[in-house]
Each structure stands twice: as structure tokens, then as C-alpha cells.
Amino acid sequence: MSDETSWLSRFRDYEAAIEELECVSRALNAALKDRGPPEKYQKLIDAEALARAHVVRMRARLMDFCRDLLPRASDRNAGVP
């Protein structure tokens, strides 16, 4: 798998995680507005927490991949007087 393919795959995973978080957050907001049963709140709160953690993991995965591809500042400045 090429670096570009790997990057696109990780980016799509990150975007999908964000979309899932937004969907769960909208559902939680709707439940809170409708004053639904507390059990529904808890399930949505738990789902939102999991979705948020997934976004963080996918973003870290993407950033780690990008960091590995890009030259470090110390490498770019090596040999510069």
C-alpha cells in the first residue's frame, strides 16, 4: 500500500469517526430536548463518549502517520550554518 493510499485511508477513517460523533451528538441533543427517559440519555451519553474517544484515536493515528512521513525540523536544518 502506498503512502498516499495509507494516508487517504486514515483520513477517511478519521472523517467517518467525526461523522459518527456528530450523529450521536445530534441524537443526544434531540433526546435531551424531548426530555426522553433517563435510560435513553445514558445510552446516548455512553455512545457519545465512545464516539469521541474513537475520533481521538483516529486523529492520533492520522497525525502519527503524517509525522512519520514529514522530515523533522532538526533533519531539515541539519548542516545549515
Looking at residue 81, what is its pLDDT?
Answer: 55
Give the separation between CA 46 and CA 50, rounded to whole angstroms.
6
pLDDT value of position 6: 86
Question: Is there a domain that residue 60 lies in?
Answer: yes
pLDDT digits (tens, 9 = 90+) for 41-74: 899 999 999 999 999 999 999 999 888 877 765 5
For residue range 2-33, what is the model confidence (pLDDT) as tens digits?
777 788 999 999 999 999 999 999 999 998 89
Report if residue 80 sits inside a domain. no
Domain that holds residue 21: 3-68
User: What is the pLDDT at residue 29?
Assistant: 92
Q: How many separate domains does the chain show?
A: 1
Q: Which residues contact 31 (CB under 8 A, 6 or more apart)?
A: 40, 41, 44
In a domain, 78, yes or no: no
Asked if residue 77 has pLDDT above 70, the reply is no
Identify whether 76 is part of a domain: no
